[in-house]
Amino acid sequence: MQDEPAAVFDEEQADGLRARLVEGLLSGGWIRTAEVEAAFRAVPRHLFTPEASVEAAYADDVVRTKFDADGAATSSVSAPWLQATMIEQARLAAGMRCLELGSGGYNAALLAELVGPAGEVTTVDIDPDITGRAARFLAATGYDQVQVLTRDGWHGAAEHAPFDAIIVTAQAVDIPPAWIDQLVDGGRLIVPLRLRGLGRGVAFERHGDQLVSRETQMCGFVRMQGAGASPMQRLALRGNEITLQFDGNYPTKPELFDGILDSPRLDTWTGVRLPPMTPFDTLKLWLATVFDGYCQIDVAKDAATEPLTPAGRPLGDAVVNGASVAYLTCPKITESRYEFRAHAFGPDATTLTEDLTDQIRTWEHNHRDGPDPRITAHPLGTPDHNLPPGRALDRAHTRITITWPHPADPDATHHGSRPAPS
């Protein structure tokens, strides 16, 4: 892979744009400590993103660097706000050892600034194009002390372990034993997890053989490749135009949904209203927690939305039960208010819309203004009675639990509300 030629720029311009970016990250609360601030001021991001103009390099946005045959990004330099968040969550200090899974070069340079000459940074990627690029950029910018390895990050880097922190920069659906085994007790694993199709960045802390979340935020990442790859399963409701996507809970009898959109549609107002620009990412995770059949409904951008219209284009959240499917919209009802509305097809449409409406109202009452749940990861064989209360998602290596705190719980997990691809 040949790198794109760097855009024309001058150092004074780059320095000014970098200073402006750092000031924005400070004012937004993404940078919290003087050490992370110093790292962002020191590392020249534009030299790691030759595809982008210098202005784009210092925008608080992702720079995508490689794509697959379908045009989906397979590698990128994450948005600075998200990089700052994950690095702050890792709590790195001088002399520590850090593993980055998913390379690009820039993030590894930031980590190298934090751990200093007495520490060690190892960055791993499965794609030799990406590691070759990262190694060139790191050497050119004076960070050639970073260890760059070409391998499947699913297995970590045991020869450089133990690590005080592991930062994963691709979306994972499971946590392999290597990541836990190579992390010191009390160390941090920062990983974007896919939970029932929803992306959540989780800052875990290791306690023996289990991981406990300390912070979470909504985020999007490129898909993991190699042994950790786990694509969503799709169920067509109408060709490729309207589909359901499942994350480990695919229906046992998908044929029951054949022709379901030809049945009458039931529409139910929920009474739960929102002003414009109000985030409701906790609603999505709440529904994914309480419904066994939670999934996403996807309507192709250029597809006609009948028979979903005129009810409205779905928000993406859906629930299946038996041979019925329900989904959400949130149409504008006044100039300053939107209201959630439930819609369903199938023989149990009435019951399903009632259940969906009840859970939206529960979220409104108990969790709308509250934090994300606590997320924990235990070894696969952990019995139910040793798990926290809540939803358990069984993966190949771990049992991931989602436990919602009482709104007044002072130990509830912090969450952020800024979604962005990376």
Residues catalogued as catalytic: 78
Q: What's the angle, vertex CA 289, arms to CA 286 and CA 263, rounded to 5?
A: 85
- Helices then strands (H, E): number in the chain? 9, 21
Cβ neighbours for 201, distance < 8 A, ≥ 6 positions apart: 82, 85, 86, 190, 191, 192, 193, 216, 217, 218, 219
In terms of residues, how long is the chain? 422
Helix (H) or strand (E) holding 356: helix 349-366
Q: What are the tokens at 12?
A: 């004074």
Q: What is the DSSP string of 204-247?
A: EEEETTEEEEEEEEE---PBP-GGG--PPEEEEEETTTEEEEES
Exposed, middle or buried: residue 369 (CB in 10 Å: 0-12, 13-18, 19+)? exposed
What is the chain's alpha carbon radius of gyration, rounded to the nearest angstrom? 22
Q: What are the tokens at 175?
A: 């946590």
Residue 387 one-letter amino acid: L
Q: What are the tokens at 157?
A: 């880097």
122 forms bridges with which residues in the sheet? 99, 147
Q: What are the tokens at 145?
A: 């002390």
User: What is the number of other CB atoms lying within 10 angstroms of the CB of residue 187?
Assistant: 22
**Separation of alpha carbons 166 and 188, rounded Å:** 6
Closest CA to 130 of 110, 108, 103: 103
Look at the block and give the residue holding tokens 């929803």: 198
Residue 274 one-letter amino acid: L
**Separation of alpha carbons 288 and 282, rounded Å:** 10
